[in-house]
Copies of this chain bind each other. A is one copy, B any other.
Amino acid sequence: MFLYGQRSVTERLKTNPQSIQRIYVLEEVRRPDIVKLARAKHVFVEFISKGKLLYLARDVHAQGVIAEVSDFVYQEFDEVLGREHKRIIIFLDRITDPVNLGAILRICACFGGCAVVLPKFESVEVNDTVVKVSCGAENHVPVSMVTNLSSAIEQAKDAGYWIGAAVVEEGVNPRKVKFNFPLGFVFGSEGEGIRPGLLKHVDYRLTVPMKGAQLSFNVATSVGIFCYEALNQKIYDKIK
Residue contact A107 to B59, C-beta cutoff 8 Å: no
Complex interface: chain B residues within 8 A of A173 (CB): 232, 236
Determine which of B59, B217, B224 lies in contact with A110 in the assembled complex, contact meaning CB atoms within 8 Å.
Answer: B217
One of A22-30, A34-42, A124-132, A135-143 at the interface? A135-143
Residue contact A215 to B59, C-beta cutoff 8 Å: no
Complex interface: chain B residues within 8 A of A220 (CB): 221
A103 to B99, CA, bound (A): 12
Q: How large is the interface on A (under 10, 10 to 19, 20 to 34, 35 or more residues)?
A: 35 or more
Task: Determine which residue in A109, A218, A228, A232 has the highest number of CB atoms from chain B within 10 A of its CB, and name it.
Answer: A228
> Which residues of A (154-184) have their CB < 8 Å from a CB of B?
173, 175-176
Q: Is the CB of A73 closer than 8 A to any CB of chain B?
A: no
Within the complex, what minimum Cβ distance (angstroms) separates A224 from chain B?
A: 4
Given A215-B136, A225-B225, check contact A236 B175 (CB 8 Å): yes
Residue contact B59 to A211, C-beta cutoff 8 Å: no
Q: Is the CB of A209 closer than 8 A to any CB of chain B?
A: yes
Question: What are 13 A-B contacts defined by CB distance under 8 Å?
Answer: A103-B221, A107-B218, A109-B215, A110-B215, A137-B213, A140-B212, A140-B213, A175-B232, A176-B236, A208-B228, A209-B231, A217-B224, A228-B229
Given A175-B232, A175-B237, A236-B176, check contact A210 B112 (CB 8 Å): yes
